[in-house]
Chains A and B, each alone.
Chain A
Amino acid sequence: MRTKLISAPYTIWMTLFIIVPMGLVAFFAFTDKSGAFTLDNIARVGQYSNVFLRSIWLGALATFISLLLGYPLAYTIAKAAPNRQSFLILLIMLPMWMNFLLRTYAWMSLLEDNGLINNMLAAVGLPRIHMINTAGAVVLGMVYNYIPYMILPIYSVLTKIDNSVIEAAQDLGANNRNVFLKVVLPMSMPGVISGVTMVFVPAVSTFIISKMLGGGGNLLIGDLIDMQFLGSAYNPNLGSAISLVLMVIILICMGIMNQFDDGENVGGGMIL
């Protein structure tokens, strides 16, 4: 039927430019330079386990901080008057639309040893702090760049909670604390889950933030991949293997999150 054919160009396009390239990644990961099958590349990924652990650790930390900072803000915005809400959300989104290289670059000038923050500290007679090129600066960059992705989904779930559900909880004797812990928080879990994935995935795979704010000492998975494809250590086979492992790790993390999500939805259903 004609109506079915209408999506055929899209199917062909996605096959050609998403599925085939993924196949290529898998192919490169399991072959050597001559194209013969090998498991060496995958085995070599093990040498970089410290980089993987650092990436996951810093990514998880940034995700956790974003959640900690973002949830209260999302909650505050969701409680504000409707006109104010859309204004505040616009303000959250505005920096997102500025190129993230520029946003990260801005932090470079703030964090430098003789940067603005240190100059201000010095001006009031406090000692300078070394901030640039540390793991802390990388986490800061991640939080700064990705916190809107945490706030927005949580906010959108919170605004969808029917006020009568909250009133029902109050009616049944829940105080504010209990309303939040037993009704609002469980019901907002889907937003939290999607916020966590939306922050964790780019944070764990970034290579710009670590390059710009982490100096050379805070290599992340993204930097490793970059180096194998466009850097000094040119080796697309190893790069593909690292990419594949990264994808698998993210898939596992998302699988765990989704498990959690399903469980919470059941809980949410029970409350309703």
Chain B
Amino acid sequence: MKTASKVYTALIFIFLYAPIIVLIIFSFNDTDTASRTQFSGFTLRWYQRLFEDRYILEALLNTLIIAVVSAFASTVLGTMAAVGINRMKRMPKKVMMNITNFPMVNPEIVTGVSMMLLFVAAVSLFGGKSLGMASLIIAHITFCLPYVILSVLPKLRQMNPNLFEAAQDLGCPPVRAFFKVVLPEIMPGIVTGMIMAFTLSIDDFVISYFTSGTTQTLPIYIYSMTRKRISPEINALSTVLFVCIMLLLIIINVRQGREERRAKKAERERA
């Protein structure tokens, strides 16, 4: 890289990371006034408080439950859907892809309020409890589904269409052939889809905001904390989340790198 572009890249990265670094530094700030701007010594007090805060822990638990359930459900439903869509003829496939793309281009806030209207209507029609975990999980599955489908479909498309037939040809009944041959082939896409669904669910605020009723998730709790403009606890929480995500991304990256290296090695050996 030339010097000019190096400087430019550095400036953009400073812009991207400065606020995060500031957040992290102030999570260790030893202050009673909860000042966000004066650094007055090192402490781990905010981390301690964070892990003692019942509300945060409850919100965290809710978030994790929702993320696990909706990642699992959307992965199963989405993989099934992708297999079906991949085998469709042109027109129905086009319709399905449009439905799949719609929630991804529609403003999140509109998706959020539309589901809120549905859930409120459902509650008033069928009774039952107000919005909460159930509506949150349904909403999360819904917005995760397209991402799962879009990461599984390319794998199905890349797959040699004869593989499934070859397994049957060698004596495997269709359903077993799917699990023995197709599933291992599209597994990387399924795993990527599931990880995406999981992180999107953990991270979601806008749609949860409209469909949560009184149930707290971590992003919703963070929102209420930022409204009150207090407590370096929030910085501590940011730092913890940031480190977790960084680790997750590094793991994924290493995995991908290993896969790529393996592919390259195989190519070399073939040549």
**Could you tell me which A residues sit within 8 Å of B by CB distance?**
2-11, 13-14, 17-22, 24-25, 28, 69, 72-73, 76-77, 79-80, 86, 88, 90-95, 97-110, 112, 114-116, 119, 144, 147, 197, 201-202, 204-208, 212, 222, 225-226, 229-230, 236, 239-240, 243, 246-247, 250, 254
Given contacts A21-B117, A240-B113, contact A95 B138 (CB under 8 A): no
CB-defined A-B contacts under 8 Å, sample of 9: A18-B102, A18-B142, A24-B117, A95-B16, A105-B222, A144-B15, A204-B107, A205-B109, A236-B117
Which A residues lie within 8 Å of B20 (CB)? Answer: 95, 98, 103, 106
Chain A's nearest CB lies how many Å from the CB of B258?
Answer: 13
Most buried by A among B26, B113, B139: B113
Tell me the dominant secondary structure on chain B's binding face.
helix
* Of the residues B8, B114, B248, contact of A243 by C-beta under 8 Å: B114
The reply to whether the CB of B53 lies closer than 8 angstroms to some CB of chain A is no
**Could you tell me which B residues sit within 8 Å of A by CB distance?**
1, 5, 8-9, 12-13, 15-20, 22-23, 26, 36-37, 77-78, 80-85, 87-88, 96, 99-100, 102-103, 105-111, 113-118, 121, 138-139, 141-142, 145, 149, 174, 199, 203, 205-206, 209-210, 218-219, 222-223, 226, 229, 234, 237-238, 241-242, 245-246, 248-249, 253, 257
* Of the residues A7, A90, A119, A247, contact of B107 by C-beta under 8 Å: A247
**Closest chain A residue, CB of each to CB of B237:** A102
Question: Contact at B80–A106, with CB atoms within 8 Å?
Answer: no
Question: Contact at A93–B249, with CB atoms within 8 Å?
Answer: yes
Query: Assuming A21-B114, A72-B5, A147-B16, what are 8 further A-B pairs, CB within 8 angstroms?
Result: A9-B81, A18-B102, A88-B9, A103-B19, A109-B26, A201-B105, A208-B223, A250-B105
Complex CA distance for A4 and B80, rounded to whole angstroms: 10
Question: Contact at B141–A109, with CB atoms within 8 Å?
Answer: no
Which A residues lie within 8 Å of B17 (CB)? Answer: 95
Tell me the dominant secondary structure on chain A's binding face.
helix
Complex CA distance for A3 and B245, rounded to whole angstroms: 37
* Of the residues B1, B84, B109, B199, contact of A226 by C-beta under 8 Å: B109
**Closest chain A residue, CB of each to CB of B23:** A106
Which B residues lie within 8 Å of A105 (CB)? Answer: 23, 222, 226, 234, 238
Complex CA distance for A212 and B23, rounded to whole angstroms: 16
Question: Contact at B226–A108, with CB atoms within 8 Å?
Answer: yes
Given contacts A6-B84, A106-B22, A240-B117, contact A99 B37 (CB under 8 A): no
Given contacts A20-B118, A109-B22, A250-B107, contact A99 B205 (CB under 8 A): yes
Question: Contact at A7–B145, with CB atoms within 8 Å?
Answer: no
Number of residue pairs A-B, CB distance < 8 angstroms: 212
Chain A's nearest CB lies how many Å from the CB of B21?
Answer: 9
Question: Contact at B110–A86, with CB atoms within 8 Å?
Answer: no
**Closest chain B residue, CB of each to CB of A105:** B226
* Of the residues A102, A109, A147, A202, contact of B222 by C-beta under 8 Å: A102
Complex CA distance for A202 and B112, rounded to whole angstroms: 13
Question: Contact at A86–B16, with CB atoms within 8 Å?
Answer: no
Chain A's nearest CB lies how many Å from the CB of B47?
Answer: 16
Which A residues lie within 8 Å of B238 (CB)? Answer: 98-99, 102, 105-106
Given contacts A97-B245, A98-B238, A109-B26, contact A229 B114 (CB under 8 A): no
